């Protein structure tokens, strides 16, 4: 299915890929393509990308979904029903609002928000992002009426944490840990007493790693969290279903550099292992347009020979100080070198493509000389994406 069809028909597009390949910008372009085709689209980015905010004409990208002004697009023939909102997943803020939604009463809410472990989790620790992205996704897909949500993800391996997060969280909260670690009613049966002993031993050993103070904060955190368990598990389940739904597409964004291609191959393989098909792969910044007359052509061979007699024909038309004649060879050399690089990148792309499922759409994007800072620039990317 082409990307043009994906943005028209799917309700969730998840963009995964290595860092530094323009994944956030590509996610925005995909959402914009959806809006252009008449859908109510939302792009959820992972970083505040000021340049992208500028390109979208927004004051900022933050936790609030902000509408992008598409009047300029409508003048160019975009469907009038389309709309585009953009927001960034802000870990600390989303965590807090998640607790607010799930806490059964104000006392529990306060206990959690004041807990220091919670504070550490919500600020910077690993995996927080995936949990929070999961929550934002739930909110966007279940509570709002978007037709298309495009989800940007953290680089490389972390990208797949969004797939693991629902299970991991549900397992973490499955109750047994809480039972083990928390003091409970006096236990009478043998099994219960054993469980209690197990819990004490576990607690002691865990204390060896974390120290008593941190352990008691962890236990306090778990205790308070226990009351939110069902809410979390239900959400985790819903998000897991959404991620694996027919109407969800996974798009792999890469570039043609060997490191990115290695990462992309790894991601593709891991998605396959999780039975998640990759619907499209985008190679960003993958060739240098070497012919200024045909800026979109992917050229990987060029004669190193300057046309015979060119210098003697041109030189009379140059004024002093004239450059040396060899300059023409050097100029040609620059283009030939760029073609060689294009050829090497082509080989790398071919290597990744050879392993792809035939149904997976491949899109190769050139290296744009300047960075995208206006809607116009983003549209140029959109054209490449939907034309393929």
Partner 1 sequence: MDLQAFASLLQHRLLLFTGKGGVGKTTMVAAIAVHAARHGWRPLIVELSHRESMRAVFGVDDIGFKPRSVGYGVHAMSVDLDLAVLDYMMQHVPSQRIAKSIVQNKVLERLFKAMPAVGEIATINKLRQLESETQADGRRRWAPILVDLDATGHALMFLELRKTLEHILGTGSMSSLIESTARMLADPEISRLALVTTPDELPVTETIELYRRLQDAKTVAWGHVYVNRVPRTDLTPQEQASLPMLARAAHALGEDDVLADAMFAQQVLAERDRALAQIERLKAAVRLPVVELPRLSSVRMDEADLAFLGAIAATGGHA
Strand order in the sheet with 40-45: 66-67, 83-88, 40-45, 148-152, 12-16, 248-255, 280-284, 361-364
Nearer to partner 1, 67 or 198 (CB): 198
Work out which of 334, 351, 374, 387 binds partner 1, going by CB under 8 A.
334
Nearer to partner 1, 82 or 154 (CB): 154
Nearer to partner 1, 33 or 130 (CB): 130
C-alpha to C-alpha distance for 132 and 292, rounded to whole angstroms: 45
Least Å distance between CB 203 and partner 1?
10
Site residues for partner 1, 160-219, by CB under 8 A, read: 168-169, 171-172, 174, 176-177, 180, 202, 205-206, 208-214, 217-218
3-state helix, strand and coil shares in percent for the chain, rounded to the nearest 5? 55, 10, 35
Site residues for partner 1, 274-313, by CB under 8 A, read: 290-293, 306-307, 310, 313
Least Å distance between CB 80 and partner 1?
34
- List residues bridging with 85 in a β-sheet: 42, 67
Least Å distance between CB 9 and partner 1?
31
Tally of CB atoms within 10 A around 148: 26
Least Å distance between CB 40 and partner 1?
29
Burial 95-123 (b: 16+ CB within 10 A, else e): bbebbeebbeeeebbebbbebebbeebbe
What DSSP state is assigned to residue 370? S
Site residues for partner 1, 342-371, by CB under 8 A, read: 344-345, 348, 369-371
Site residues for partner 1, 54-113, by CB under 8 A, read: none
Site residues for partner 1, 128-157, by CB under 8 A, read: 128, 154-157
Burial 35-53 (b: 16+ CB within 10 A, else e): bbbebbbbbbbbeebeebb
Please name the residue that has the structure tokens 């390949």: 21
Least Å distance between CB 93 and partner 1?
17
> CB under 8 A: which stretch of 53-61, 65-73, 80-88, 340-348 binds partner 1?
340-348
Can residue 120 be called a binding residue for partner 1 (CB under 8 A)? yes
C-alpha to C-alpha distance for 202 and 371, rounded to whole angstroms: 54
Count of positions on this chain that bind partner 1 (CB under 8 A): 83
């Amino acid at each position: 299915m082409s990307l043009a069809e994906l943005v028209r028909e799917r309700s969730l597009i998840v963009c995964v890929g290595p860092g530094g390949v323009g994944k956030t910008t590509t996610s925005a372009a995909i959402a914009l393509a959806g809006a252009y085709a008449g859908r109510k689209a939302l792009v959820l980015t992972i970083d505040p990308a000021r340049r992208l905010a500028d390109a979208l004409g927004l004051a900022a990208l933050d936790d609030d979904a902000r509408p992008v002004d598409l009047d300029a697009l409508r003048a160019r023939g975009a469907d009038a029903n389309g709309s585009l909102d953009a927001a960034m997943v802000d870990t600390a803020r989303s965590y807090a609002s998640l607790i607010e939604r799930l806490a059964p009463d104000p006392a529990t809410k306060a206990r959690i928000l004041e807990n220091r472990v919670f504070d550490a989790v919500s600020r910077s620790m690993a995996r927080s992002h995936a949990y929070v992205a999961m929550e934002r996704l739930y909110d966007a897909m279940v509570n709002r009426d978007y037709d298309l949500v495009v989800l940007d993800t953290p680089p490389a391996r972390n990208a797949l944490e969004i797939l693991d997060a629902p299970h991991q969280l549900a397992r973490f909260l499955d109750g047994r840990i809480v039972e083990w670690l928390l003091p409970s009613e006096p236990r009478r049966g043998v099994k219960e007493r054993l469980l209690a002993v197990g819990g004490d031993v576990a607690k002691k050993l865990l204390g060896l790693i974390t120290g008593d103070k941190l352990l008691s904060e962890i236990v306090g955190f778990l205790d308070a969290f226990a009351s939110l368990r069902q809410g979390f598990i239900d959400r985790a389940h819903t998000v897991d279903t959404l991620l694996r739904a027919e109407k969800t597409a996974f798009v792999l964004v890469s570039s043609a550099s060997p490191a990115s291609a290695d990462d992309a191959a790894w991601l593709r393989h891991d998605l396959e292992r999780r039975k998640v098909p990759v619907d499209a792969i985008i190679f960003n910044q993958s060739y240098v347009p070497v012919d200024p007359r045909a800026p979109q052509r992917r050229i990987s061979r060029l004669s190193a020979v300057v046309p015979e007699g060119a210098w003697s024909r041109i030189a009379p038309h140059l004024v002093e100080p004239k450059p040396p004649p060899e300059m023409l060879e050097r100029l040609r050399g620059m283009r030939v070198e760029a073609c060689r690089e294009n050829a090497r990148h082509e080989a790398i792309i071919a290597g990744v493509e050879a392993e792809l499922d035939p149904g997976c759409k491949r899109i190769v994007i050139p290296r744009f000389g300047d960075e995208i800072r206006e809607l116009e620039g983003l549209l140029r990317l959109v054209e490449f994406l939907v034309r393929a």
